[in-house]
């Protein structure tokens, strides 16, 4: 089991190293997203979710649409969040690439992740991890994003328990040996909260139900076979917006609207996947 997590992590390490060289002003976001997803497959895995490319005040759930012509710009703060799986065993990682002059904001989230990883071991409460993340971010003079969290990873489930907050909480969960978790601090020069905006390009299956329309049944069958419960991009599938909207309304699919910092603050993010061991945490990404 752990070998497959480790393999997924090795894939992401290589892709992460390669993608940093591609993110430059004038380059299309779509080209970078498709590169990440293609390289994961070439290296022996599958994407665990669409490559997220969230820029500036966008913090999560942005992936380019089909034929998207948007490009990176000078001054952008670019978050690349990517996942790979091997037979459903998922590794998840993220980096921030600074195309401007935001070194402190980027270093803040990176240091928060490093400090959090240092306290991971079996028996540690996730509340302690959140406290370390919050303290580190505030020491830099920035705010943690309070309603974005780290999470557990389970086969074909990209966001499983436990929830790992990026701030102090009264009660957390004790980490057990063998847990696989993703820690992902988000730092901002804004107020520290995200909300949904209307753009949405990512979906996942949450329930299989009796459906009246043949097109709906056929599409759900395709999703079950191809992605199971993992998120997929609208650009990956041949389906109308009307069908997607109907399936969301019927509780068959979950939609993932883009999450953006409510005050327009810039956001940075770093993330590692870690296997919890008795005397520490083994970083695999």
Backbone angles phi, psi at 46, to 5 degrees: -135, 150
8 Å CB contact between 261 and 194: yes
Identify the helix (H) or strand (E) that includes residue 213: none
So which residues are the catalytic ones? Answer: 81, 92, 151, 159, 184, 271
Sign of CA dihedral 4, 63, 201, 222: negative
Residues 48 and 92: their CA atoms lie apart, in Å, by 8
Sign of CA dihedral 148, 153, 157, 163: negative
The helix/strand/coil state of 1 is coil
- Count other C-beta atoms under 10 Å from residue 179's C-beta: 21
Residues 12 and 52: their CA atoms lie apart, in Å, by 14
Residues 6 or more apart whose Cβ sits within 8 Å of residue 221: none
Of 159, 112, 172, give the one whose Cα is nearest residue 139: 112
- Count other C-beta atoms under 10 Å from residue 34's C-beta: 14
Residues 6 or more apart whose Cβ sits within 8 Å of residue 215: 239, 243
């Amino acid at each position: 089991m752990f070998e497959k997590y480790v393999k997924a992590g090795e894939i992401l390490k290589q892709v992460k190293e390669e993608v940093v060289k591609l993110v430059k002003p004038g380059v299309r976001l779509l080209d970078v997203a498709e590169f990440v997803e293609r390289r994961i497959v070439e290296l022996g895995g599958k994407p665990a979710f669409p490559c997220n490319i969230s820029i500036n005040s966008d913090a999560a759930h942005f992936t380019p649409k089909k034929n998207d012509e948007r490009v990176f710009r000078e001054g952008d703060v670019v978050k690349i969040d990517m996942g790979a799986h091997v037979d459903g065993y998922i590794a998840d990682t993220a980096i921030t690439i600074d195309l401007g002059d935001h070194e402190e904001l980027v270093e803040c989230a990176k240091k928060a992740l490093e400090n959090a990883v240092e306290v991971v071991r079996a028996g540690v409460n996730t509340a302690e991890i959140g406290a370390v993340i919050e303290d580190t971010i505030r020491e830099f003079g920035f705010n943690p994003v309070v309603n974005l969290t780290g999470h557990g990873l389970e086969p074909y489930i990209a966001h499983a328990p436990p929830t790992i907050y990026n701030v102090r909480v009264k009660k957390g969960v004790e980490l057990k040996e063998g847990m696989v978790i993703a820690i992902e601090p988000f730092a901002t020069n804004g107020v520290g909260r995200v909300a949904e905006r209307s753009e949405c390009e990512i979906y996942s299956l949450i329930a299989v139900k009796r459906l009246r329309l043949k097109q709906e049944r056929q599409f759900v069958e395709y999703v079950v076979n191809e992605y199971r419960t993992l998120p997929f991009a609208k650009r990956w599938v041949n389906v109308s917006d009307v069908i997607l909207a109907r399936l969301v309304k019927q509780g068959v699919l979950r939609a993932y609207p883009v999450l953006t910092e409510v005050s327009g603050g810039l956001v940075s993010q770093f993330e590692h996947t870690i296997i919890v061991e008795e005397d520490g945490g083994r970083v695999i990404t």
